[in-house]
C-alpha cells in the first residue's frame, strides 16, 4: 500500500558501511529510503549484524524517509534486539527525518541517539573512558 510518505520519486540508495571499532558497525544510507530502497537497507544491515555488538545507522545523508523506510528501521531494530545487539540511530535532526519520526511517534520507540555518530562510536568503543560516575547510557 502506498502512503503519503512514499509519494516522492525514488532515487538510488547508496549504502556506506564501515567498522570503526571491533564492536561497532556504522551504516550510512544516502538518498531516499522508501518502498523501493528499504529492502536494500535491510539486506545490508542484516549482513553486517554479526560484525559487532552495536549497529549505528547514521541518517545524516538521508534525503527522504517514507513509510516503508520507517518500517525498515523498525524491522532492523527488532532483528538487532532479538540477536542481542543494540541498534542506534544518529543524525536524525535533519528536517526530512526529524519531522517524520516525531509525527509518527517513532522518535519515542526507536533508539534515537542525540550524539553525533563520531561521539557515539567513541563512547561505544571505549565506554569507561567516556563515562561519568553515575552516567547511564548514551542518549
Number of structural domains the chain divides into: 1
Residue 39 belongs to a domain: yes
pLDDT of residue 96: 76
Residue 131 belongs to a domain: no
pLDDT of residue 12: 79
What are the average pLDDT values for consecutive 10-residue runs of the chain, which has 139 residues?
48 90 95 95 93 94 94 97 96 88 94 93 78 44
Helices (H) and strands (E) in the chain, counts: 5, 5
| Strand-pair category, 24-33 with 86-90 | unpaired
pLDDT of residue 88: 97
Range of the domain at 49: 14-111
pLDDT of residue 51: 84
- Which of 11, 12, 29 minimizes the C-alpha distance to 117? 29
| Strand-pair category, 62-65 with 24-33 | parallel
Amino acid at each position: 500500500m502506498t502512503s503519503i510518505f512514499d509519494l516522492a520519486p525514488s532515487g538510488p540508495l547508496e549504502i556506506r558501511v564501515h567498522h570503526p571499532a571491533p564492536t561497532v558497525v556504522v551504516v550510512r544510507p544516502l538518498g531516499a529510503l522508501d518502498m523501493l530502497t528499504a529492502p536494500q537497507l535491510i539486506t545490508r544491515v542484516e549482513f553486517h549484524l554479526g560484525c559487532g555488538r552495536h549497529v549505528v545507522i547514521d541518517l545524516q545523508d538521508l534525503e527522504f524517509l517514507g513509510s516503508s523506510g520507517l518500517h525498515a528501521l523498525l524491522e532492523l531494530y527488532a532483528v538487532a534486539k532479538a540477536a542481542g545487539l543494540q541498534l542506534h540511530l544518529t543524525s536524525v535532526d535533519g528536517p526530512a527525518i526529524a519531522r517524520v519520526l516525531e509525527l509518527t511517534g517513532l522518535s519515542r520507540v526507536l533508539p534515537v541517539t542525540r550524539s553525533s555518530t563520531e561521539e557515539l562510536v567513541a563512547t561505544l568503543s571505549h565506554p569507561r573512558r567516556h563515562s561519568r560516575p553515575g552516567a547511564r547510557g548514551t542518549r
